[in-house]
Copies of this chain bind each other. A is one copy, B any other.
Amino acid sequence: MALSTNTGGQRPGESSGDWDEAREGAELYRIVSELYPICRSITGNGVRESLRVLQQQVPLSLHEIPSGTKVFDWVVPNEWNIRDAYIKNSSGGKVADFRKSNLHVVNYSVPVRKKMALSELRPHLFALPESPDWIPYRTSYYKETWGFCLSQRQFESLADAEYEVCIDSSLGPGHLTYGEFQIPGATDNEVLISSHCCHPSLCNDNLSGMAVAARLAQHLSGRSLRYSYRFVWIPGTIGSIAWLALHEKLLPQIKHGLVLSCVGDPGRFTYKRSRRGNAGIDRVVEHVLRHSRREFQLRDFSPQGYDERQYCSPGINLPVGCFMRTPNGEYPQYHTSADDLTLVKPSSMAESLQQLLQIIAALEGNESYVNLNPKCEPQLGRRGLYRPVGGTKNAGAEDAMLWVLNFSDGGHSLLDIAARSGLPLATLSAAADQLENAGLLAKAGGPRQ
């Protein structure tokens, strides 16, 4: 398996000699830092600019879907772009300035340029009384309005006077942009990796996911793989809906998938299962996390969250789970200006990438075999596979061979045997290789997913 020749290829549970967490973390952090200042939204130039940053990692292609395109129950909205926005007080001082933080503007605000009293302005203002120094993140994609987000301290300091309000934005026919990158494998069976790219200056949600996906794609590029891999960077909700609507015919090829979000904070890993609940990806991620010696939590699917909502809608129902550290909505900085470059850590992102590489190694390595000598044990010693002096306990490799032989009956994959034996998939996979070489085991026939 080509994957075993470098970082991405260590078998799960093993650590690879050339994995340099510090270097990888630094590179991920550099990407996030470069993406951070850009004002993204579900459409517009911010997405295009961001995807071009990721093209430094892999030659992903940009796809444009025209405004007005019908995608299932939805319609691709007009394209939004913004150049500047501010609120000036009567003395000309800016009390909210898009150039200082793009979170100050309600995302998708229509243009406005007007003087108004505080009483008229106030319904357009949003703040967080419980976190008085943070600017909230708010959007209004589908109702044409405008607004500003301020820290509670800014909001409270506003005098009852006249203000000059300016939002220099445009909202009109254009396109929804997404990025896509494919790595061909030995079969058309695909693994889908999806991350949303629509949030403005918020690091964990989801510059971390965008960057980790790009590095993951870079690591897998050029490898010899059994699955084909498809990476998409898409605006949340409307992006995955549009992508699904336009790719309905290829959905049967997608055998496994992951949504990546919030993978940069130092919290424990969280895996949210696919709607199917016991799909291959669900079992593989659980296996890798269980053998990771790191803290983690597993959750069943719920229809709240990110694009897994669409991938797992009842009429789509793909085997797609969601890989996170602290889930959206569950860290205090979520959807505020405090989700900044101090919340995400180089080492956290590197660890996330490493787990994902191990998950992919497990997907690639989860073979099913058939024991060619199923009546009693084969004589392993004759083949040099067993200790010559008896009376002692089995070595680990012998144990793994006995497990593989006993349960390779057509009904158990290596992952099934890993679950029964408690052994890591990589150990069983190595045992299977030895047994296959000795002519005692053969890959189970039939189409493999």
Q: B-contacting residues of A (Cβ < 8 Å)?
A: 72-74, 106-107, 126, 136-143, 145, 147, 237, 240-241, 244-245, 248, 275, 300, 302-304, 309-310, 312-316, 329, 335, 371, 373-379, 381-382, 388-394, 399, 402-403, 405-409, 420-421
Specify which chain B residues have a CB less than 8 angstroms from the CB of A138 in the assembled complex: 389-392
Q: List 20 A-B contacts (CB under 8 A).
A: A136-B391, A137-B391, A138-B390, A139-B391, A141-B390, A142-B379, A142-B382, A147-B389, A244-B375, A245-B375, A300-B420, A302-B403, A303-B406, A303-B407, A304-B402, A309-B377, A313-B375, A314-B371, A314-B374, A335-B391
Question: A1 → chain B, closest Cβ, in Å?
Answer: 25
Instruction: List the B residue with the shortest CB-CB distance to A393.
Output: B329
Q: How far is the CB of A97 from chain B (nearest CB, A)?
A: 20
Evaluate contact between A406 and B313: CB separation under 8 angstroms.
Answer: yes
Q: In whole angstroms, how far apart are the Cα atoms of A145 and B74 in the complex? A: 78
Whether B391 and A313, one on each chain, are in contact in the complex, defined by CB atoms closer than 8 angstroms, is: no
Closest to A394 in B: B304
Whether the pair A388, B143 counts as a contact (CB closer than 8 A) is yes
A124 to chain B, nearest CB (A): 11
Q: How far is the CA of A140 from the CA of B389 in the complex (A)?
A: 5
Whether B72 contacts A376 by the Cβ 8 Å rule is yes
Enumerate chain B residues within 8 angstroms of A141, measured Cβ to Cβ: 390
Shortest Cβ distance from A58 into chain B, in angstroms? Answer: 27
Take A139-B389, A389-B139, A394-B304 as given contacts and tell me if A237 and B377 are in contact as well, using a CB distance cutoff of 8 Å: yes
Q: How far is the CA of A219 from the CA of B127 in the complex (A)?
A: 50
Residues of chain B lying within 8 A (CB to CB) of residue A300: 420
* Interchain residue pairs A-B with the least CB separation, the first 7: A315-B374, A315-B375, A139-B390, A303-B406, A303-B402, A314-B409, A143-B388
- Residues of B contacting A378 in the complex (Cβ-Cβ under 8 angstroms): 73
Residue from A245, A275, A378, A392 having most chain B Cβ neighbours under 10 A:
A392
Q: In the assembled complex, which residues on chain B have CB atoms less than 8 Å from the CB atom of A314?
A: 371, 374, 405-409
Q: A299 → chain B, closest Cβ, in Å?
A: 12
Residues from chain B with a CB closer than 8 A to the CB of A303 are: 377, 402-403, 405-407
Q: Which residues of B contact A389 (CB under 8 A)?
A: 106, 126, 138-140, 143, 147
CA distance A315 to B399 in the complex (A): 19
Q: Please name all residues of chain B whose beta carbon is closer than 8 Å to the beta carbon of A107 when the two chains form the complex.
A: 391
- Could you tell me the distance in whole angstroms from the C-beta of A215 to the nearest C-beta in chain B? 27
- Of B244, B304, B377, the contact of A313 (CB 8 Å cutoff): B377
The reply to whether B310 and A72 contact each other, CB–CB distance below 8 Å, is: no
Most chain B beta-carbon neighbours within 10 Å: one of A316, A378, A391, A399: A391
Q: Are B379 and A73 in contact (CB under 8 A)?
A: yes
Asked if residues A309 and B381 are in contact (CB atoms below 8 Å), the reply is no
Q: How far is the CA of A402 from the CA of B309 in the complex (A)?
A: 9
A407–B303 Cα gap in the complex (Å)?
9
Set of chain B residues within 8 Å of A248, measured between Cβ atoms: 375
Contacts of A388 in B (CB 8 A): 140, 142-143, 145
The smallest beta-carbon distance between A149 and chain B, in angstroms, is 9
Q: Which residues of B contact A74 (CB under 8 A)?
A: 376, 379
A314 to B248, CA, bound (A): 42
In the complex formed, the residue of B with least CB distance to A407 is: B314
Known: A313-B376, A375-B244, A375-B315. A381 touches B73 (CB 8 A): no
Chain B residues contacting A309 (CB-CB under 8 Å) are 377, 402, 406
